[in-house]
A and B are shown apart, each in its own frame.
Chain A
């Protein structure tokens, strides 16, 4: 039995500083990240989601990022 590791990251905090997360993903190359917004939190703007997505896509890591976020229209 093998156990993977997912890093759970709040979208609002992640968008402030995304570069350090690359170190984790580089260190554990089977890991993923899951970006979330909390139940009591306002939805994030779509551009925030896009910024995060673009950053990791640029690093060719978009297959290792998932989103569980409420997004405002």
Chain B
């Protein structure tokens, strides 16, 4: 009798265990099915899930506006980097077909104050420092070199005097390396541009689009002390030139090309939001001079 009752208890426990296991599995499967179907999301509010802010969206009319009122040339260009010698510039302007498969449409060069040496044959022979008491003029040279056979005057003369012969559209990106070089360079540009008016090349001189490039803010891996160009001075120099030479500059295509001084090996987040905000602030500050697509009526908008 005792043995029979022990047996019944044992069988009952086994049945209970099976029953509990069955219920547990059933609950797990049911929850899984509901979660998959999204049913539980409606019942349980998502309190702890932090959603990332959505990326900034462009206005819907954005693409249409850009195509309708383009101020800048097409972004897709064939660039020739660091053009700082007379022979190299001549080849680009006059021997395009002998070059590679694609014609160079954009020329990048560095502008600084240094020695102009007319008979300098190779940039590799150019001295790093100017001689004492030597008159320093705006030249095209890549730092740390301080001498070149291509002065800014000669550069613009070659660019504009070839109009009519070499009618390719050209972007000229002038990378200013020193603060006090901006104004004399702009004066030289103005003189050569106006002079072209009197020549046959008048029709094609507007194929030149000048980018005034400078690193105006400290970027990744650099401090404020390492910024050579004051952004405000760059904008003001252009504004000053435009106010003084309204008629002469009509039709000249100018753009600001603004950047940060950087160390390309610097670690970190690259161009972060704070850096971009600083740049937006600088451009907004000089919105009267730039036309960046906002509703602001430009003081200097002459055409």
Decide if A17 touches B250 in the complex (CB within 8 Å).
Answer: no
Instruction: State A11–B218 Cα separation when bound (angstroms).
Output: 16
The one of B262, B289, B292 in contact with A13, judged by C-beta atoms closer than 8 angstroms, is: B262
Decide if B266 touches A13 in the complex (CB within 8 Å).
Answer: yes
The one of B213, B215, B219, B291 in contact with A3, judged by C-beta atoms closer than 8 angstroms, is: B291
Decide if A1 touches B66 in the complex (CB within 8 Å).
Answer: no
Residue from B57, B251, B262, B292 whose CB has the most chain A CB atoms within 10 Å: B292
Contact string, A4-47, partner B, CB cutoff 8 A, digits 1/0? Answer: 11111110111111011111111111111110111101000000
**Chain B residues positioned under 8 Å from A61 (CB to CB):** 58
B189 at the interface (CB under 8 A from A): no
**Chain B residues positioned under 8 Å from A31 (CB to CB):** 72, 292-293
Decide if A4 touches B258 in the complex (CB within 8 Å).
Answer: no
Instruction: State A13–B250 Cα separation when bound (angstroms).
Output: 37
B271 at the interface (CB under 8 A from A): yes
A interface: dominant SS = mixed
Decide if B264 touches A59 in the complex (CB within 8 Å).
Answer: no
B83 CB → nearest A CB, Å: 11
Residue of B nearest to A42 (CB): B264
Decide if B257 touches A39 in the complex (CB within 8 Å).
Answer: no
Decide if A28 touches B142 in the complex (CB within 8 Å).
Answer: no
Interface size on A, residues (CB 8 A): 47
**Chain B residues positioned under 8 Å from A34 (CB to CB):** 75, 173, 211, 257
Interface size on B, residues (CB 8 A): 70
Would A8 and B258 be within 8 Å (CB), given that A2-B71, A2-B298, A29-B66 are in contact? Answer: yes
Residue of B nearest to A25 (CB): B58
Decide if B256 touches A5 in the complex (CB within 8 Å).
Answer: yes
**Chain B residues positioned under 8 Å from A5 (CB to CB):** 255-258, 283, 290, 292
Contact string, A42-64, partner B, CB cutoff 8 A, digits 1/0? Answer: 00000000000000000111011
B300 at the interface (CB under 8 A from A): yes
Instruction: State A7–B283 Cα separation when bound (angstroms).
Output: 11
**Chain B residues positioned under 8 Å from A60 (CB to CB):** 58, 63
Q: Which residues of B contact A (CB under 8 A)?
A: 55-59, 62-63, 65-67, 69-72, 74-77, 79, 81-82, 106, 108, 142, 173, 211, 213, 215, 219-220, 238, 242, 246, 249-252, 254-259, 262, 264-266, 268-273, 275-277, 279-280, 283, 289-294, 298, 300-303
Known: A13-B270, A16-B269, A29-B292. 19 other contacts (CB 8 A): A1-B249, A3-B290, A7-B258, A8-B213, A10-B219, A13-B219, A16-B270, A19-B55, A21-B276, A24-B276, A30-B70, A37-B264, A38-B264, A39-B81, A39-B82, A66-B75, A66-B76, A67-B79, A70-B81
Q: Which residues of A contact B (CB under 8 A)?
A: 1-10, 12-17, 19-34, 36-39, 41, 59-61, 63-68, 70
